[in-house]
Structure formats: C-alpha cells, structure tokens
Amino acid sequence: MNKEPEIDNEQNITGYLSLTLCRGKTFNDFCEKNFTNYNAEQFDAIAIRVLYGKEIIMTLYALDKLRQAGTNYGINKLPVKKFKITKLSFDEVLPFIKEFNFTLTTGNYTLEDMEVINK
C-alpha cells in the first residue's frame, strides 16, 4: 500500500520579544516567586524561554554565582542552572509586565533591509 507523503503546511516565523516590567517589579522578583529553589543571592537570571503548545513550559537559565570558579565546564562558558515550570498561567505572569513588544519574521528577508514607504 503506497502512502501519500505528508505535506507540511506549517511555517515558522522567528523574532525577538522585549518586555518592560511594572514599576517596582524585577526579573528576580518574578523568578523567586515562580521558580522553586531560585534565590537571587546564589543565582543571576540570564535568559528565559517560553514554549506554548500542548502545554506551557517556562525555562529559566540562571548563572550560578557560587560555581563561577569551578572547573567542570569550559573556561569561556558560564555555569548556568536550568529551572523549569509547567504549572504557570498567564494570570501569574501579567502582574509583572507593563508592556511587551515583538516582531516576527519569516526569515526570507532581513528586517535591516526594509524601508517603510507609506509614511
């Protein structure tokens, strides 16, 4: 029995997102509230990744300040601990965010080469 090949109609678009936190709220406040075992004395939050699909997964990458002088990793690498949570709703995230802005691109053209002509 010959099976027709599956056609992939999905298109990936990529980009960058920026967040402005509410006055009086910090990234460390958010991390300490939502990630088990995160504390700002030992860790310095570097990056956060959010996956939204069948579930929401938020992954935090934080520099381990106590292990910076270690030898278990490359000399030009940062020792980071990865924290993950899957039980987070947007209602828990939104109180920290004043605004967010993002631009997504298909990758077919660079954003730097664009010139808006309908000003």
- pLDDT of 28-59, one tens digit each? 999 999 999 999 999 999 999 988 888 888 99
Question: What's the whole-model pTM score?
Answer: 0.72
Backbone φ, ψ for residue 92 (5° rounding):
-85, -20
pLDDT at position 28, please? 92
Residue 66 has pLDDT above 70, yes or no: yes
CB 93 within 8 A of CB 20: no
